[in-house]
Amino acid sequence: MSPSFPALLSAASRARTLRQLKQLHGKALHHAFHGRLNHWVAVLVARCARLRAPLSYARPLFDSAPRPNAHAFTSMLKYYSQVGAAHGEALALLSRMRDLGVPPDAFAFPFLVKNCSGGSVGSMHAHVMKLGHGADQYVRNAIMDAYARQGRMEVSRKLFDEISETTVVDWNTMVSGYWKWGQEAEARRMFDAMPERNIISWTAMVSGYSKVGEVGKARRTFDSMPERSVVSWNAMLSGYVQNGLAEEALKLFAQMMDAGVRPDETTWVTVVSACSSKGDLALAESLVGFLEERGMKLNCFVKTAMVDMYAKCGNLARARQIFGEMGNRNSVSWNAMISGYARVGNLAASRELFDTMPERNVVSWNSMISGYVQNGKWTTAIELFKSMSRMKDVRADEVTMVSIISACGHLGALETGRWVVDFVAQNKIELSISGYNALIFMYSRCGCMEDAERIFQEMPARDIISYNSLITGFATHGHGIEALELMKKMMEEGIEPDRITFIGVLTACSHAGLAAEGREVFGSIENPTVDHYACMVDLLGRAGQLDAAKKLMDDMPMEPHAGVYGALLNACRIHRRHDLGEHAAGKLFMLEPENAGNYVLLANIYASAGRWDDVENIRQMMRERGVNKMTGYSWVESGGQVHHFMAGDQSHPRIKDIYKVLEEYGRKMRGLGYSADKSWSLRDVEEEEKEEMVGTHSEKLAIGFALLVTEPGTVVRVVKNLRICGDCHVAIKLISQLSGRELLVRDNNRFHCFRDGECSCQDFW
DNA sequence: TTAGGGTTAG
């Protein structure tokens, strides 16, 4: 005997798996529905929402109803809101209901409102009022919540104030709305004024305080709660984790166990992530042992957190093993693996996962892109971003832009950078502090200090990174006074300078020749690090006080590192102190035997003194030690493209044009009385070892310039990564004179602007 | 159906 229709209905509404549901549906299809198919579909779709059935099953099911009723619509809406479908889907359903003449019931509106974006809350609100559902407590609450989620707290508050009889849910909605937008005072006022509070109100306060970094207040609230649920414990735990207090979180976890509270899977996720932020492998192992002892069945979230934990602790093999054993991975699991490999520099493994994963979301793209950026593969990052922006199913967000803006900054790719800024505006990507900070970094690196300052002024709020980025920018460009003033301003705003701030300010003083100010700043640093000493040696050295620099080094409480000796050696080159230079170079040859730059610096010191035998000795030393010649290259941005040039490089598509221009310039130079033939005769360099030492710099630079002058009308920007030698200096001056263009040249992290053969910075040599 | 807690990217 086949089951009756009501029995089938009741079984369907209790189905525990999708398989059961499908079987029941199969049975039901043999029945005559007698006009009850619409009702049947409604029940099934409702169950699909609960069981997270795939859309490929749920939607055709819904469409099989001849005339879906309000219940079926609501269930489909609920389904969409659970899978996070675009609001457009919900709106399409709504208009279909209108066509069919089925008015949506009050149950439908909370789901309709849930995925509203932008201005559509307002029109949905109007629709609700028109249909007379405005007084329904659920509908009303959903609308208040939607406004609150968009930050329109005044509208939300107005609706709240108009309610004649509020429920505790209304109050809780307001409290969490205020917290979402960091309005601690308002949230607190609401909480204090509540006629009654439940566990949710208290928990919202705990997580709210945690969110704004007030862990102390969160803990006091937590301690005064009349009762706690596992959710409340989880809120406090994650409060500690989010604020970097992993130790405290683990202590609280122990208390939680003592109190006999049964942890749920969210607890495990939080505790595991506490372990990963500590980067403590031993702790991680003991936690896993703890979970295994209890025979815990771990869900996808927990396992993903474990993958992330092992990846962050550097045990990629174990992370990969857990990842491999996971039955159902979601995109977060893949992403954790991708960023794990990227973090240790294994970009090939990252990319392989990225290319093979079934569904990429914005975080997958961001992980891959930022992996490239963090490992110095800036051009690849930008290329990947360009292919991302051609995809239809993914939209770049602020995180994407932070990586890309930063990549442009590293490259000094201003034209690409400006294109990215346009992209942000056109795609209406809202920037937060980190987005603005990235822009400050980019403009500074590209030499546009006016733009960097403008962004700094325009941004709604600033943090220490904002100040540090701008200070470092000032330092790079020799604006010592501005850097000092900015540090003063940040202290007035109550932000204490950190290690990076002092490095920036000291560098700024050094480049601007503000020796006295630099000394004063250095004196104010509580515990100077070895980097601060390096800045100070650089400052004293550039100012010509080489013996004072040497004395400072002798008195250092720690061993000087290569940076300190490098600063000394550079100062010796500027002030031609051979004795001290030899000493510094000797140390550097021990500390960094592979760094060709040090050998070249010393050779240049000898060359300037005409000690050619010693120059030859250095070259001999490099050969014996197998030190490669400079692998650095110069790169030039032109027409939005970054061109790389290495010594003897023939690979550029317009290499012939470039040679032609170079030869022309060579002729002009000779006509001006310069005998600098070797810098221009590119073809000889590989054979003629003699040029290797002095010729490579200017040669690469010359290729870059040559390209620029073959592209009339482009902005001339040359970004160079290595110290510029004397020949380069001549080359730059000449080309700026002959081309009649402004040249922006980066030398050793500092920009120099040349016009008509002159540099605007007086101390360019 | 509404309100509180979780994993990935800078």
CA of A270 to C1' of B4 (A): 16
**CB of A71 lies under 7 Å from some atom of strand B:** no
**Averaged over A450-454, what is the pLDDT?**
94
Q: How far apart are CA A230 and CA A332, in angstroms?
A: 24
Between residue 664 and residue 693 of chain A, the positions with Cβ below 7 Å from nucleic chain B are none
Q: Do A617 and A673 sit in the same domain of this protein?
A: no
Q: Which residue in A505, A529, A531, A530 sits closest to A519, CA to CA?
A: A505
Q: Do A677 and A751 sit in the same domain of this protein?
A: yes
Q: How far apart are CA A699 and CA A707, in angstroms?
A: 12
Task: Reply yes or no on whether the pLDDT at A435 is more than 70.
Answer: yes
**CB of A336 lies under 7 Å from some atom of strand B:** yes
**CB of A367 lies under 7 Å from some atom of strand B:** yes
**Residue-averaged pLDDT of chain A:** 81
**CB of A437 lies under 7 Å from some atom of strand B:** no
**CB of A69 lies under 7 Å from some atom of strand B:** no
Task: Reply yes or no on whether the pLDDT at A394 is more than 70.
Answer: yes
Task: Give the pair of three-digit tokens for residue A268.
Answer: 């495990």
Strand partners, A750: A747
Query: At A743, phi and psi to the nearest 5?
Result: -115, 135
Give the residue whose CA sits closest to B7 at C1'.
Answer: A305
Closest nucleotide to A168, Cα to C1': B3
Residue A221's pLDDT band (cuts 50, 70, 90): very high
Residue with tokens 């995109």: A331
Closest nucleotide to A303, Cα to C1': B7
Strand partners, A634: A645
CA of A739 to C1' of B8 (A): 50
Residue A121 maps to a domain:
no
The end-to-end CA distance of chain A, in Å, is 100
Residue A339 maps to a domain:
no
Helices (H), A543-652: 546-554, 562-575, 578-591, 596-608, 612-625
Q: Which residue in A393, A385, A436, A446 sits closest to A415, CA to CA?
A: A446
Contact A505, A484 (CB under 8 A): yes
Between residue 131 and residue 150 of chain A, the positions with Cβ below 7 Å from nucleic chain B are 137-139, 141-142, 145
Q: How far apart are CA A202 and CA A228, in angstroms?
A: 9
Query: At A440, phi and psi to the nearest 5?
Result: -60, -45
Task: Reply yes or no on whether the pLDDT at A263 is more than 80.
Answer: yes
Q: Do A641 and A603 sit in the same domain of this protein?
A: no
Domain CATH number, residue A536: 1.25.40
**Residue A606 structural domain:** 528-628
Between residue 2 and residue 41 of chain A, the positions with Cβ below 7 Å from nucleic chain B are none
pLDDT in tens, A697-749: 455 555 556 555 554 433 334 443 333 444 455 556 666 666 665 666 555 44
CA A560 from centre of chain: 33
Residue A251 maps to a domain:
no
Residue A245 maps to a domain:
no
Closest nucleotide to A273, Cα to C1': B7
**CB of A169 lies under 7 Å from some atom of strand B:** yes
Q: Do A601 and A641 sit in the same domain of this protein?
A: no
Residue A692 maps to a domain:
yes
Q: How far apart are CA A184 and CA A173, in angstroms?
A: 14
Task: Give the per-residue pLDDT at A231.
Answer: 95
Task: Give the per-residue pLDDT at A724.
Answer: 43
Q: Which residue in A595, A651, A603, A658 sits closest to A626, CA to CA?
A: A595
CA of A334 to C1' of B8 (A): 8
Q: Do A609 and A644 sit in the same domain of this protein?
A: no
CA of A467 to C1' of B6 (A): 33
Closest nucleotide to A172, Cα to C1': B3
Residue A652's pLDDT band (cuts 50, 70, 90): low
Closest nucleotide to A269, Cα to C1': B6
Which of these ranges, A97-106, A444-453, A497-506, A673-682, has the smallest mean pLDDT? A673-682
Give the residue whose CA sits closest to B6 at C1'.
Answer: A266
Q: Do A622 and A710 sit in the same domain of this protein?
A: no
Q: How far apart are CA A213 and CA A378, in angstroms?
A: 33
Q: What is the identity of the amino acid at A12? A: A
Task: Reply yes or no on whether the pLDDT at A190 is more than 60.
Answer: yes
CA of A133 to C1' of B2 (A): 14
CA of A229 to C1' of B3 (A): 15
Closest nucleotide to A105, Cα to C1': B1
Query: At A718, phi and psi to the nearest 5?
Result: -115, 125
Asked which of A604, A628, A652 is the last residue of a domain, the reply is A628
Residue A334's pLDDT band (cuts 50, 70, 90): very high
pLDDT in tens, A399-428: 999 999 999 998 888 888 999 999 999 998
Q: Which of A5-9, A159-163, A244-248 has the highest mean pLDDT?
A: A159-163
Q: How many separate domains does chain A show?
A: 2
CA–CA distances in Å: residue A78 to residues A128, A440, A602: 17, 43, 73
CA of A173 to C1' of B3 (A): 5
Q: In what order do the strands lie in the sheet with A717-719?
A: A641-645, A634-638, A717-719, A743-747, A750-755, A758-759
Measured on CA atoms in the order A238, A240, A244, A250, is the torsion positive or negative? negative
Contact A693, A601 (CB under 8 A): no
Residue A614 maps to a domain:
yes
Q: How far apart are CA A715 and CA A694, in angstroms?
A: 28
CA dihedral A407, A409, A411, A414 (to 10 degrees): 120
**Averaged over A433-448, what is the pLDDT?**
91
Residue A297 maps to a domain:
no
Contact A567, A533 (CB under 8 A): no
**CB of A123 lies under 7 Å from some atom of strand B:** no
CA of A715 to C1' of B2 (A): 58
Q: 3-class secondary structure for A80-144?
A: HHHHCCCHHHHHHHHHHHHHHCCCCCCCHHHHHHHCCCCCHHHHHHHHHHHCCCCCCHHHHHHHH
Task: Give the per-residue pLDDT at A543.
Answer: 87
CA of A228 to C1' of B4 (A): 11
Task: Reply yes or no on whether the pLDDT at A632 is more than 50.
Answer: no
Contact A705, A724 (CB under 8 A): no
Q: Do A709 and A681 sit in the same domain of this protein?
A: yes
Q: Do A620 and A638 sit in the same domain of this protein?
A: no
pLDDT in tens, A529-541: 999 999 999 999 9
**Averaged over A437-448, what is the pLDDT?**
91
Q: Do A587 and A567 sit in the same domain of this protein?
A: yes
Task: Give the pair of three-digit tokens for residue A562.
Answer: 């290569």
Helices (H), A163-212: 168-180, 184-193, 199-211
Q: Could you tell me which residue, A367 or A25, shows the higher pLDDT?
A: A367
CA of A178 to C1' of B3 (A): 13
CA of A336 to C1' of B10 (A): 15
Task: Give the per-residue pLDDT at A651.
Answer: 60
**CB of A332 lies under 7 Å from some atom of strand B:** yes
Which of these ranges, A93-107, A260-274, A516-530, has the smallest mean pLDDT? A93-107
CA of A398 to C1' of B10 (A): 9
CA of A134 to C1' of B2 (A): 14
Q: Do A615 and A686 sit in the same domain of this protein?
A: no
**CB of A331 lies under 7 Å from some atom of strand B:** yes
Asked which of A606, A628, A650 is the last residue of a domain, the reply is A628
Closest nucleotide to A109, Cα to C1': B1
Count the Cβ atoms, other than its own, within 10 Å of residue A651: 8
Closest nucleotide to A179, Cα to C1': B4
Task: Give the per-residue pLDDT at A112.
Answer: 79
Q: How far apart are CA A728 and CA A701, in angstroms?
A: 7
Closest nucleotide to A343, Cα to C1': B9
Q: What is the identity of the amino acid at A621? A: M
Q: Could you tell me which residue, A724 or A7, shows the higher pLDDT?
A: A7
Task: Reply yes or no on whether the pLDDT at A223 is more than 50.
Answer: yes
Residue A494's pLDDT band (cuts 50, 70, 90): confident
DSSP element (H, E) containing A750: strand A750-755
CA of A108 to C1' of B1 (A): 8
* DSSP 8-state class, residue A711: S
Between residue 256 and residue 295 of chain A, the positions with Cβ below 7 Å from nucleic chain B are 264-267, 269-270, 273, 276
Give the residue whose CA sits closest to B10 at C1'.
Answer: A399
Residue A764's pLDDT band (cuts 50, 70, 90): very low
Residue A756's pLDDT band (cuts 50, 70, 90): low
Between residue 385 and residue 424 of chain A, the positions with Cβ below 7 Å from nucleic chain B are 397-399, 402-403, 406
Between residue 73 and residue 112 of chain A, the positions with Cβ below 7 Å from nucleic chain B are 78, 106-107, 110
Give the residue whose CA sits closest to B1 at C1'.
Answer: A107
Task: Give the per-residue pLDDT at A84.
Answer: 65
- Classify A528 as helix, strand or coil: coil
Task: Reply yes or no on whether the pLDDT at A291 is more than 80.
Answer: no
Q: Could you tell me which residue, A586 or A657, shows the higher pLDDT?
A: A586
Q: Which nucleotides of B are covered by protein (CB under 7 A)?
A: 1-10
Q: How far apart are CA A408 and CA A594, in angstroms?
A: 29
Give A288's contacts (C-beta < 8 A, 6+ positions apart).
Answer: A306
CA of A145 to C1' of B4 (A): 14
pLDDT in tens, A112-124: 777 676 567 888 8
Task: Give the per-residue pLDDT at A27.
Answer: 84
Query: How much of chain A exceeds pLDDT 70, in percent?
Result: 81
**Averaged over A53-66, what is the pLDDT?**
85
Q: Do A574 and A663 sit in the same domain of this protein?
A: no
Packed helices A37-51 and A55-63: angle between N→C axes, nearest 10 degrees: 170
Residue A3 maps to a domain:
no
Task: Give the per-residue pLDDT at A502.
Answer: 94
Closest nucleotide to A309, Cα to C1': B7
CA of A408 to C1' of B10 (A): 14
Asked which of A571, A605, A628 is the last residue of a domain, the reply is A628
Q: How far apart are CA A156 and CA A124, in angstroms?
A: 14
Task: Reply yes or no on whether the pLDDT at A692 is more than 50.
Answer: no
Give A173's contacts (C-beta < 8 A, 6+ positions apart).
Answer: A141, A144, A145, A148, A156, A160
Q: Do A751 and A704 sit in the same domain of this protein?
A: yes
Between residue 219 and residue 248 of chain A, the positions with Cβ below 7 Å from nucleic chain B are 229-232, 234-235, 238, 241-242
